[in-house]
Amino acid sequence: MKILAIESSCDETAASVVEDGRKVLSNVVASQVEEHKIYGGVVPEIASRRHAEAISGVVDKALSDASLTLDDIDAVAVTYAPGLIGALLVGVNYAKGLAYSKKLPLIPVHHLRSHIAANYITHQELKPPFFCLVVSGGNTAMVEVKDYTDFKIIGRTRDDAAGEALDKAARSMGIPYPGGLNMDRLAKNGDSTAFKFPVPKVEGCPYDFSFSGLKTSVINIIHNAEQKGVEINKADLGASFQKAVSDCLCRNVLKAMEDTRHKTLVVAGGVSANSVLRKALTELCEKKKYKLYLPELSLCGDNAVMVGSQGYYEYLSGNIAGLELNAFAGKNIEEK
């Protein structure tokens, strides 16, 4: 079954063709990073406009790269939630038009479910059940993936997502957008013990995260240094901050995996590209003899390959939408 998949939840317009959920026939991503750079972050209105401009060319390229036409496609899958509402609507409406005109099934795909599915492409042998840490720009959660379309949230962030905290900390440090990625690069040779951060805990909820206090700590460190006229070593601050974020994630993952007796950890979302987190989780899993699956770097960020993969399993479970399908800025991963 060949699925044409479309993704437009944030600042990447992407389309791809994926066969039977696992075989990538094409993968096209048009990034808007350069457009948003001068503003220091994603401007939703600009994102929507750029998606509208790019989408038909991106979809055409996905088909031609796969040496296919729309007549060869069996279904259209699209990210419908969560994300920037205006951005999501561009993809959803385009997918509806294609599905209607070619009488194809329309498959709604939850963005975080698709981030998890990026691992089905990288690791062809991977099958649920498993334990998953989802760390993206807008969401941070620990999820039990019971089956391809059956999810149970174990813990989640109470405030900022890990990626959001990294981006905001990077911004206050004067590191250009995209902050998380640039902080990772800048901090490669930094000393992660140079700055001390509080260890955030959500009282009574050992599986939940809180990152906003860490972000405030960075701002306070910078303000204090400015007031004293002291120059901060950004590599050291970035390294220390990334370690603090990674330590929180690892601590909760360890506790939750021990309690739920899972032995397989899958990591998903943009922050799974972070070198400090990848190393820390690798060490944790080696020590605990857990099996670890990390997405390949090219599939950590937003792309449509992951939408095509998850879309296949949604289709098999009967999750087909009508033309009344709407986009949602927020939606729980457990909901259809």
Positions that interact with ligand KG4 (CB under 6 A): 10, 111, 115, 136-138, 163, 166-167, 178-181, 184, 269-271, 273-274, 301-302
Angle, CA of 34, 36 and 37, to the nearest 5° = 65
- Distance between start and end Cα atoms, the chain: 22
- 27 forms bridges with which residues in the sheet? 16
Least separation in angstroms between CB 42 and ligand KG4 = 10
Nearer to ligand KG4, 81 or 98 (CB): 81
Closer of 167 and 208 to ligand KG4 (Cβ): 167
Residue 334 — φ and ψ, nearest 5°?
-75, -25
Min CB(11)–ligand KG4 separation in Å: 9
Min dist. Cβ of residue 213 to ligand KG4 (A): 18
Give the nearer residue to ligand KG4 in terms of CB position, either 129 or 176. 176
Of 63 and 170, the one with the shorter C-beta distance to ligand KG4 is 170
User: In whole angstroms, what is the distance from residue 93 CA to residue 209 CA?
Assistant: 35
Q: How far is the CB of 89 from ligand KG4 (least distance, A)?
A: 17
**CA distances (Å), origin 161, targets 40, 74, 211, 213, 296:** 18, 36, 7, 12, 21
Using DSSP's 3-state secondary structure scheme, residue 75 falls into strand
Residue 163: CB minimum distance to ligand KG4, A: 3
Are 110 and 38 a contacting pair, CB within 8 Å? no
8 Å CB contact between 264 and 131: yes
Query: How open is the CA angle 214-197-153, to the nearest 5 degrees?
Result: 50
Comparing CB distances to ligand KG4, the nearer of 180 and 311 is 180
66 versus 190: smaller Cβ distance to ligand KG4 = 190
Which residue is nearest to ligand KG4, using beta carbons? 270
**Cβ proximity to ligand KG4, 141 vs 285, nearer residue:** 141
State residue 108 phi and psi, 5-degree precision: -80, 130
Smallest separation, CB 253 to ligand KG4 (Å): 16
Quick one: 77 exposed, middle or buried, by C-beta within 10 A (0-12, 13-18, 19+)? buried
Q: CB of 240: closest distance to ligand KG4 in angstroms? A: 14
